[in-house]
Amino acid sequence: MPLRCRLALLSVALCAPLVARTVWADVPAPSTARAAPAAPAVSAAPTARMTSAPPVRGEPLRLLSAAGGAVYAQLADKTVVGLSSGEVVVDARARSEARTVVGRVLCAAGTHPPAPRALAPVVAAAVPGLSPPPPPPPPPRIVCLRAATVGGAGDEPTRRTLMLLDSAGVRREVASGSEEGYRVVPLGIHLDAQGKLRFAYAETGVAEGQAATRFHVVEGSQRREIALTPEGLLPEGSEEGAEGEGRAEGEVEPVIQMVELGGQAWLVHREGSALVARPPDEEPVEVASSASGAFRAVVGPDGWLYVVHHDPASGTARVSSSRDGRAWSLATIDGRESGEALDAAAGSDAVYVVFSSTRGSPGGGLRAATLREGRVEEAPITVHRVREGEDLPRPLLGIDGKGFTWLTYRDLAGAKGGAKGEAKKQVWSRFGRPEELLGSAGAAEERGMGGRGSYFLLTGAGALPTFWHLASLTPSLEGADGVLVESPETNVGFSLLLSANVEARWRSVNFGLSYAQGIVDEAAESIEDAAGVLSGFVQADDVLWGHDLRLSVLWGRYRGSTTAFVASGEGGEMEIRSSYIDTQLLARNRWNIKYGLGYTHLNLPTLVHTWTSTKASVEYGFSGSFLRDVSFNNLALVLGYANVDHAAGYTSRYNGPLVDGLLGGGVAFYGHEPITTDGGGTLENEVTFHLRGNVMVGWLYFRRWASLGGFGLYVRPSYTAEVGFTGLPTEPSARDESKGIDTQGEVSLLWVRHGPSLDVGAVW
């Protein structure tokens, strides 16, 4: 080989490492003052597990995913630590020599801008046929905005500052002030794929006794002022913070989330109760009309912008999607009571969402979903369950450039009722790729259900011993002008009914049908004439303003007899052949409170008590009690609570209590055969008041097995009581003036129906 070629090759070997050192020379090595054990190796099995040694010490408040790089944890002690290295890359804590109280700290992960390649072309030209060495990847970069209050010494005023902190060791003051009423608040920060830094903050000052707030967006060396609504962007006390426990995640949540969409910077933030998106110099576009709690704005690998949020009106986790930031589509990720805590991160093929939900078990847990091509790709899967009564955990999700996925949450099991912090632990799970999150141990059973997780068919049979009691209040001696009116005697007895029922759920619609036939009835002459009950319902979720809508109808056949002995009027014995109808149209909100209208119809032999006022009198005199078969039509406004409907949302398992209660009140329209009193008055139809109440308490064990293709069993013991009260037999008040013969009637009916039930069956 010629001598000059040998020298050229030697220069390549010497210069290549020089290029690398030159590129990295401006980045000091991160501090290693605090390190955690290295993360354990990723298990090949697609199951979530708590790592034997958590990658960091302390409580994480956010996970930061650098584009194509590593995942970092922003901790409650105001440091940022790499999960793979365990090294502190940014320390935003107050320095010991300063009288500083640190408040909000917002951080972003990314890379430094690529370094210029100056040496490689020269070397490559010296050796024909040799390609220049590839440049090293740009180093990771973590940048934080830190708000702090610096106490003055002596007569010096207190200063409020906003500092920019960089993992390269940069510490630069962005804004500060010591005037009374001055306030500076970080709002958002972002590093794009090329390492370009953008951040937003707000300054409030007092001029001529009036507070004025200005909002700034900084991009590179340019700073511009934008018009924003302060409501929802300036949390009280956020610029000062507090030391110690009880860190609020709000201190690290960016209220303005910045993304790059189509080569343009976009800001996503609140405006009143809505979420909007906008380039800094354009008018906002509504993303969602209603949102509460945390939200996440993430650009996926498919180029779609996804804004994941919780809709307080419907109580659901939702996502708004857009290709250009201007036209948005809204989709529901999961059902009721989901998404109050959530996180999202972009993988190489989709955006992955983890959120809290009460579905899937009595206590709820964490569920995960995939977003791709502007839609929710498939039904969410439960990845972690909690026991009933426990608080739902707040998930944090991070995905690095190689696809390694971190999920962490605070396990609150056993914490209630104990000492502060007792039994709480930070659970960490690591997956080789984000798809394994949806195949984790917590999701395996639900995943095995396939499409059957969104529907079920339930068939069962049971027994219902039923007791029915009827009573009537009678006028007092004074109200009946000294006539003793005795209460009628009723015989409705005891009945034992056997029931068969079918219930089903298809996506967001539930419906059911049940029939119970009496096999023992003390008041019936034959089995064919014994008591019977037919009931049905249909319910649709999230129909009107976030409410479920339920229509239920019950028809009952009851037999018995009533005997009345009266001193004035008409008595005797009458057979009870009652057809009872109960119809309810109810809406149920996210707190399981239901309200609506109720209509009941029944006919029963009842004493009708009458009073008559003659032509020459304004007073009413008692004119007798008459036994009639009275038909009642009752209308009522009802209010109640039901977790029975709530339990229907658990499509794979439920083992817990059932509670259903309802109270109502309204008017009763009743009619009967005409009554003619001795005074010449006639009575046929009247109106009075009506009260009702229902309560059912019980237990439901409901279980489906994925290994059996979704087949399952259920057991449902319960006790039900129903009470109704109509009218009071009180003497009418005197008339203002005499206007001919007038007859007034009153009825009084109290009925109680109650009994236990046991229902068992299969789920298909």
DSSP 95-146: PTTS-EEEEEEEEEEEEPPPPP--SHHHHHHHSTTPPPPPPPPPPEEEEEEE
Shared-domain flag, residues 214 and 278: no
Q: Which position has the higher pLDDT, 29 or 298?
A: 298
List, for residues 662-673, the tens digit of each pLDDT value.
Answer: 999 999 999 888
pLDDT at 304: 96
Asked if the model's pLDDT at residue 241 lies above 50, the reply is no
**Residue 91, CB half-sphere, CA atoms under 13 Å: how many?**
13
Quick one: which of 440, 444, 358 has its CA closest to 407?
440
**Count of CB atoms within 10 A of residue 26's CB?**
12
Instruction: Point out the least confidently predicted range of 38-42, 518-522, 586-590.
Output: 38-42
Q: How far apart are CA 86 and CA 107, in angstroms?
A: 17
* Both tokens assigned to 258: 């910045």
Shared-domain flag, residues 101 and 46: no
Q: Is 67 a domain residue?
A: no
187 sits in the region (left: phi over 0; alpha: psi -120 to 50; else beta) called alpha
Q: How far apart are CA 662 and CA 593, in angstroms?
A: 10
Instruction: Label residue 360 by pLDDT band (50, 70, 90).
Output: low
Which structural domain range is residue 156 located in? Answer: 1-27+92-254
pLDDT at 203: 93
Q: How far apart are CA 399 and CA 433, in angstroms?
A: 8
Max mean pLDDT range (37-41, 420-424, 633-637):
633-637
Q: How far apart are CA 380 and CA 356, in angstroms?
A: 11
Q: How far apart are CA 371 and CA 319, in angstroms?
A: 9
CB 273 within 8 A of CB 313: no
Asked if the model's pLDDT at residue 635 lies above 70, the reply is yes
**Count of CB atoms within 10 A of residue 116's CB?**
9
Instruction: Label residue 349 by pLDDT band (50, 70, 90).
Output: very high
Q: Please say which residue of 254, 286, 307 terminates a domain.
A: 254
Q: Is 195 a domain residue?
A: yes
Q: Is 723 a domain residue?
A: yes
Asked if the model's pLDDT at residue 196 lies above 60, the reply is yes
Max mean pLDDT range (5-14, 143-152, 238-247):
143-152
Max mean pLDDT range (241-255, 265-279, 494-508):
265-279
Q: How far apart are CA 503 and CA 365, in angstroms?
A: 26
**Count of CB atoms within 10 A of residue 629's CB?**
16
Instruction: Label residue 496 by pLDDT band (50, 70, 90).
Output: confident
Shared-domain flag, residues 235 and 332: no
Instruction: Label residue 10 by pLDDT band (50, 70, 90).
Output: very low
List, for residues 563-574, the tens digit of each pLDDT value.
Answer: 988 888 888 999
Shared-domain flag, residues 9 and 43: no
Shared-domain flag, residues 664 and 552: yes
* Both tokens assigned to 58: 């302390």
Quick one: which of 38, 16, 140 has its CA closest to 428?
38
CB 42 within 8 A of CB 154: no
Q: Which residues contact 155 (CB under 8 A, 6 or more apart)?
A: none
Specify which residues 667 forms β-bridges with: 635, 689
pLDDT at 578: 82
For the whole model, what pTM was predicted?
Answer: 0.67
Shared-domain flag, residues 45 and 20: no
Q: How far apart are CA 291 and CA 313, in angstroms?
A: 8
Q: Please say which residue of 223, 254, 285 terminates a domain.
A: 254
pLDDT at 35: 40
Q: Which position has the higher pLDDT, 526 or 722?
A: 722
Q: Is 71 a domain residue?
A: no
Query: Using H for helix, E for strand and C for coil, what is the string for 71-97?
Result: EEEEECCCEEEECCCCCEEEECCCCCC
Q: Stretch 356-360: mean pLDDT, rounded?
A: 73
Q: Is 360 a domain residue?
A: yes
Asked if the model's pLDDT at residue 191 lies above 50, the reply is yes
Asked if the model's pLDDT at residue 221 lies above 50, the reply is yes
The DSSP secondary-structure symbol of 647 reads: H
Instruction: Label residue 321 by pLDDT band (50, 70, 90).
Output: very high
Quick one: which of 133, 134, 138, 191 has its CA closest to 23?
138
Q: Stretch 449-456: mean pLDDT, rounded?
A: 57
H or E stretch at 455? strand 455-471
Q: Which position has the higher pLDDT, 249 or 485?
A: 485
**DSSP tally for the chain: helices H, then strands E:** 4, 43
pLDDT at 275: 94
Q: How far apart are CA 496 and CA 530, in angstroms?
A: 9
H or E stretch at 448? helix 441-448
Q: How far apart are CA 351 and CA 183, in angstroms?
A: 36
pLDDT at 33: 38
Asked if the model's pLDDT at residue 650 lies above 60, the reply is no
The DSSP secondary-structure symbol of 525 reads: S
Quick one: which of 180, 177, 189 has its CA closest to 207?
180
Shared-domain flag, residues 289 and 352: yes
* Both tokens assigned to 60: 């994480």
Q: Stretch 222-232: mean pLDDT, rounded?
A: 84
Q: Which position has the higher pLDDT, 331 or 703?
A: 331
H or E stretch at 689? strand 682-704
Shared-domain flag, residues 249 and 276: no
| Look-up of token digits 């020379």 | 25
pLDDT at 454: 61
Shared-domain flag, residues 142 and 231: yes
Q: Stretch 495-504: mean pLDDT, rounded?
A: 88
pLDDT at 333: 92
H or E stretch at 442? helix 441-448
Asked if the model's pLDDT at residue 51 lies above 60, the reply is no
Q: Is 131 a domain residue?
A: yes
Asked if the model's pLDDT at residue 695 lies above 70, the reply is yes
How many domains in the chain?
3
Q: How far apart are CA 488 and CA 286, in angstroms?
A: 67
Q: How far apart are CA 180 and CA 351, in angstroms?
A: 45
Instruction: Point out the least confidently predicted range of 205-214, 241-250, 475-484, 690-699.
Output: 241-250
Q: Is 640 a domain residue?
A: yes
Q: Stretch 569-597: mean pLDDT, rounded?
A: 88
Instruction: Label residue 389 by pLDDT band (50, 70, 90).
Output: low
Instruction: Point out the least confidently predicted range of 82-86, 263-267, 647-651.
Output: 647-651
**Residue 322, CB half-sphere, CA atoms under 13 Å: how many?**
22
Q: Which residues contact 653 (CB under 8 A, 6 or more apart)?
A: 360, 361, 702, 703, 704
Q: Is 556 a domain residue?
A: yes
The DSSP secondary-structure symbol of 158 reads: P
Instruction: Label residue 542 by pLDDT band (50, 70, 90).
Output: confident
H or E stretch at 11? helix 3-24
Q: Stretch 481-509: mean pLDDT, rounded?
A: 85
Instruction: Label residue 527 by pLDDT band (50, 70, 90).
Output: low
Shared-domain flag, residues 216 and 104: yes
Quick one: which of 661, 694, 679 has its CA closest to 569?
679
Measured over the CA atoms of residue 138, residue 398, residue 429 and residue 419, the dihedral's sign is positive
CB 352 within 8 A of CB 368: yes
> Roughly how many angstroms between the first and final C-alpha of the chain, as a whole number?
80
pLDDT at 436: 86
Q: How far apart are CA 369 and CA 231, in angstroms?
A: 31
Specify which residues 582 forms β-bridges with: 554, 600
Q: Stretch 44-54: mean pLDDT, rounded?
A: 47
Q: How far apart are CA 201 and CA 228, in angstroms?
A: 11
Residue type, 135: P
pLDDT at 351: 95
Shared-domain flag, residues 50 and 167: no
| Look-up of token digits 């890379």 | 111
Mean pLDDT of the chain: 80
pLDDT at 522: 60
Asked if the model's pLDDT at residue 73 lies above 60, the reply is yes
Q: How far apart are CA 258 and CA 265, in angstroms?
A: 7
3-state secondary structure of 550: strand
Q: How far apart are CA 310 and CA 609, in angstroms?
A: 58
Asked if the model's pLDDT at residue 494 lies above 90, the reply is no
pLDDT at 4: 47
pLDDT at 526: 55
List, for residues 81-131, the tens digit of each pLDDT value.
Answer: 999 888 999 999 887 656 788 899 999 998 766 555 544 444 444 455 656
Shared-domain flag, residues 394 and 295: yes
Instruction: Label residue 47 by pLDDT band (50, 70, 90).
Output: very low
Q: Which residues contact 88 (CB under 8 A, 6 or more apart)?
A: 30, 31, 32, 33, 34, 35, 79, 80, 81
Instruction: Label residue 559 by pLDDT band (50, 70, 90).
Output: confident
Angle at 193 (CA atoms; ends 271, 296), nearest 5 degrees: 30
Q: Which position has the higher pLDDT, 591 or 756?
A: 756
